[in-house]
Amino acid sequence: MISEKMTELGLKSSVIRELFEYGNKRKAEIGEENVFDFSLGNPSVPAPQKVNQIMLKLLTEKDPVTLHGYTSAAGAMSVRKAMADSINKSFKVNATPDLIYMTCGAAASLTITLNALLNTGDEVIVLAPYFPEYKVFIEKAGGIVRVVKCRDGDFQIDFNALEKAINKNTKAIIVNSPNNPSGVVLSEETIITLSKLLNKKSQELNTDIYIISDEPYRELVYCDIKVPYIPEYYDNAVVCYSFSKSLSLPGERIGYIFVSPKVKEAKILFAAVCGAGRALGYVCAPSLLQYTVAELVGETADIQVYKHNRDLLVKALTNYGYTVAKPDGAFYLFVKSPERDATSFSERAKKYELLLVPSDSFGYEGYVRLSYCVSTKMIEKSLPQFKKLMDEYR
Amino acid sequence: MISEKMTELGLKSSVIRELFEYGNKRKAEIGEENVFDFSLGNPSVPAPQKVNQIMLKLLTEKDPVTLHGYTSAAGAMSVRKAMADSINKSFKVNATPDLIYMTCGAAASLTITLNALLNTGDEVIVLAPYFPEYKVFIEKAGGIVRVVKCRDGDFQIDFNALEKAINKNTKAIIVNSPNNPSGVVLSEETIITLSKLLNKKSQELNTDIYIISDEPYRELVYCDIKVPYIPEYYDNAVVCYSFSKSLSLPGERIGYIFVSPKVKEAKILFAAVCGAGRALGYVCAPSLLQYTVAELVGETADIQVYKHNRDLLVKALTNYGYTVAKPDGAFYLFVKSPERDATSFSERAKKYELLLVPSDSFGYEGYVRLSYCVSTKMIEKSLPQFKKLMDEYR
């Protein structure tokens, strides 16, 4: 009688969540320090001290009626201006405040964008491995999910497969680089080829295909690597940004949508974004957080810890004989399962108290995801276990 | 090509918003102090000092990784417990934390509840005059709006009209008391009669009909009047609460959904609430705000200002010959238009720089809404204008 789909979504735990809960049970049994939980992507590094300093300043100095009051639905103009300025400082895209819409984090950025773009039956392409909530968000917005698998090994886009998947119903493709779960960054060459293909197909099919760039991990890259900014390469682009990971504020729910000024009829799409935000119940993004991030653009939490964790893991695991995807960004490592079935490998890993998420949950077989946003001490202690686990396969 | 419905929602300003913007223009022309803007329901009273004190304490004392970290989707357990305790302190309903879902404010509470309950084509009854966004929320959730007009004069429910509107597709009725825009509180007698009617019709039609109680104004009542708590009277009840008005925190987006334990299969409905929150992109309610309101249950902003404003307006307007709806709560006064067409009356009021929202926007003819969450000084200065306006009709 009530919505069956919503009930099912509420009742069905994700594999990640199940593993995390198994971990909690195990920790109670054998002690927290003896369980090596790589399941969740929850930042372990605290927010930079500046976050709290700015909040304290706002709370003591700003008029409370303004500070805690409604902003316009798209966000306070001063905040939207700060976002546009920060984008223009890094990229050549002519961002303007009137195309910035402040949101309650990345998930809200995505649901609002999808509801603005999609009509019932429109198709959205996701590149596997992919964040499993994409499917939930697309289907709730009336869309149909088309999965295109990335190339095994380097996890760049398989353009033959992509071209076959595009048809006249294709409305958008979600790009997530640095990627959850693989940690891979899509190369400039990949983005250029993608843009060419989408332009060609748009013309052939006489349609508009949008790239939705989901960028919660943009700042989390560890070498001198460049993460191409999609609106510099492709016109019909919408950026979904979040401060959750870069500033370690995942519970506070703050991010934004940026509609590229080069989108065909960008102002109309922006109006649809406003309409979708309204219809989904997002009145405005939390005001204190809006004013806070406006003063923090360009800052990040101390990501050196993540870099150190990554280097430690990559070096040791490679040494033990594991194969890992090129670990350029985010805080995930995608490790090839030594046996074909990643779920069976993940089960075996439990013997050594290692909690690794099998990649099937991300629409890809044969890998496990390790979240290395954990304490370095835990990683150090876990390494001999990884060695013993691999020894089983020798 | 993109969603036309969402574009239309984004482009179409509400009458309230248009009036507010006209006011801003007028203020620039003749000076802020000469425009009497009663258009917006934006609290003018600051949040109680305790709000900022608690935020400062949390920011300086609580571990930042927890304070700003993800809570579970339904909210931090300690927060949900505080909400349940506060409900149980005031009402006999046996609230439990496992049936509390923390939200980003009242609008989110409503969209999540509606998406949890509705299947495509289900009908939801709204009692006119009603908050216009109800229509947007219901239709986006796949539902059909059925408007039932309240009795002219006392604005209690017209049970003949309501009974005629109920059919086998009726899934829910939204009750909003104290009411926006009328300021009227539904009496205990009304709620008892409503419960009896819904029970009778549920049995007759072999269906479940839910009451969704939208309660952002619960604490804003000015005499010794009792606002009946729906779950004490009717089993299939869901409460949508918000701290926006009671604590003057409308920009911060914090509230909750409470599924009454007497709902048939309450745990299943709660799962659907979790599923809907997930599908709409609500990962969790802002964490700092969750922890803040948990320490503030039972507090309100200084509503004596509103009471004073109300008394001042009611006394003067009645004196001048206006008729007003019984002004029990919220911060709205519903004033009968001296001419049949409220829009024409609202236009005429502009001559005297009085900005009054015509009731047609709320699905009801012949009234204007005054928001008296404004400065007392502005009200005092506006009174001679109201007198002159009425003199035109003598």
**pLDDT by residue (tens digit) across A271-283?**
999 999 999 999 9
Of B9, B8, B39, B43, nearest in space to B25 by CA: B39
What's the whole-number average pLDDT of chain B? 95
pLDDT in tens, B287-340: 999 999 999 988 888 889 999 999 999 999 999 999 999 899 999 999 999 999
Q: Determine the distance in angstroms separating the CA of B193 from the nearest CA of chain A, rounded to an integer.
A: 25
Return d(Cα B91, Cα B84) in angstroms, integer.
Answer: 10
Contact B30, A300 (CB under 8 A): no
Q: CB–CB of B283 and A46 under 8 A? A: no
Enter the pTM of the model.
0.96
Read off the amino acid at residue A387: K
Q: What letter does residue A175 receive in the DSSP assignment?
A: E
Read off the amino acid at residue A392: E
Contact B329, B183 (CB under 8 A): yes
pLDDT in tens, B91-102: 999 999 999 999
Give the bridge partners for A214, in sequence order: A240
* Predicted pLDDT at B17: 81
Is residue B4 pLDDT above 90, yes or no?
A: yes
- Range A125-146 average pLDDT: 97
Contact A271, B10 (CB under 8 A): yes
- Range A351-356 average pLDDT: 97
**How is residue B184 written in tokens?**
């009227």
Return d(Cα A344, Cα A355) in angstroms, integer.
Answer: 12
- Range B256-282 average pLDDT: 97
Q: Which residues of B touch A70 (CB under 8 A)?
A: 42, 250-251
Distance of CA A141 to the CA centre of its chain: 19
Is residue B13 pLDDT above 80, yes or no?
A: no
Is residue A181 pLDDT above 90, yes or no?
A: yes
Contact A309, A376 (CB under 8 A): yes
Tokens 């329901």 found at: B41
Phi, psi at residue A50, to the nearest 5°?
-55, -30
Coil, helix or strand for A60?
helix
**How is residue A20 written in tokens?**
């995390």
Tokens 């425009």 found at: B35
**How is residue B293 written in tokens?**
């309101």
Return d(Cα A183, Cα A131) in angstroms, integer.
Answer: 12
* Closest CB from A69, A111, A290 relative to B250: A69
Q: CB–CB of A3 and B56 under 8 A? A: no
Give A191's pLDDT tier (boundaries 50, 70, 90): very high
Q: Determine the distance in angstroms separating the CA of B373 from the nearest CA of chain A, rounded to an integer.
A: 12
What's the whole-number average pLDDT of chain A? 95
Is residue A13 pLDDT above 80, yes or no?
A: no
Who's near A27: CB < 8 A, 6+ residues apart? Answer: A34, A35, A37
Q: Which residues of B touch A272 (CB under 8 A)?
A: 2-3, 6-7, 10
Q: Which residues of B touch A131 (CB under 8 A)?
A: none
Coil, helix or strand for A241?
strand
Return d(Cα A177, Cα A188) in angstroms, integer.
Answer: 11
pLDDT greater at residue B297 or residue A184: A184
Q: Determine the distance in angstroms separating the CA of A323 from the nearest CA of chain B, rounded to an integer.
A: 31
- Range A153-167 average pLDDT: 97
Return d(Cα B46, Cα A204) in angstroms, integer.
Answer: 58
Return d(Cα B285, Cα B73) in angstroms, integer.
Answer: 8
Instruction: Please state, for a pLDDT cut of 70, what percent of chain A lies above it.
Output: 100
Return the residue in A133, A253, A254 with the most chain B beta carbons within 10 A, the one to mutate for interface testing.
A253
Give the bridge partners for B37, in sequence order: B355
* Predicted pLDDT at A298: 85
Return d(Cα A268, Cα A107) in angstroms, integer.
Answer: 22
Is residue B55 pLDDT above 80, yes or no?
A: yes
pLDDT in tens, A31-49: 999 999 999 888 889 999 9
Return d(Cα A179, Cα A326) in angstroms, integer.
Answer: 11
Is residue B381 pLDDT above 90, yes or no?
A: yes
* Predicted pLDDT at B16: 85
Q: CB–CB of B276 and A6 under 8 A? A: yes
* Predicted pLDDT at A24: 87
**Nearest chain A Cα to B52, which residue?**
A59
Q: Which residues of B touch A208 (CB under 8 A)?
A: 1
* Predicted pLDDT at A220: 94
Phi, psi at residue A86, to the nearest 5°?
-65, -35
Return d(Cα A246, Cα A299) in angstroms, integer.
Answer: 8
Q: Interface pTM (ipTM) of the complex?
A: 0.95
Of A298, A232, A285, nearest in space to A261 by CA: A232
List the domains of chain B with CATH numbers: 4-47+301-391 (3.90.1150.10), 50-294 (3.40.640.10)
Contact B3, A115 (CB under 8 A): yes
Return the residue in B278, B287, B289 with the most chain A beta carbons within 10 A, the one to mutate for interface testing.
B278
Return d(Cα B141, Cα B122) in angstroms, integer.
Answer: 10
* Predicted pLDDT at A134: 97
**How is residue B132 written in tokens?**
């216009």
pLDDT in tens, B240-263: 999 999 999 999 999 999 999 999
Enclosing H/E stretch for A333: strand A332-336
Who's near A58: CB < 8 A, 6+ residues apart? Answer: A67, A288, A291, A292
Q: Which residues of A touch B2 (CB under 8 A)?
A: 116-119, 268-269, 272
* Closest CB from B42, B51, B288 relative to A252: B288
Strands B237-242, B210-214: pairing is parallel
Q: How many CB pairs under 8 A join A and B?
A: 257
Phi, psi at residue A37, to the nearest 5°?
-95, 105
b/e string for B180-218 if b means 16 or more Cβ within 10 A?
A: bbbbbbbbeebbeebbebbeebbeeeeebbbbbbbbbbb
Phi, psi at residue B178, to the nearest 5°?
-55, 145
Contact A389, A344 (CB under 8 A): no
Among the residue ranges A8-17, A71-80, B384-393, the one predicted with the least confidence is A8-17
Who's near A18: CB < 8 A, 6+ residues apart? Answer: none
Q: CB–CB of A250 and B69 under 8 A? A: yes
Q: Which residues of A touch B252 (CB under 8 A)?
A: 68, 286-288
Phi, psi at residue A67, to the nearest 5°?
-60, -45
Largest CA distance in chain B: 67
Q: Determine the distance in angstroms separating the CA of B262 from the nearest CA of chain A, rounded to an integer.
A: 16
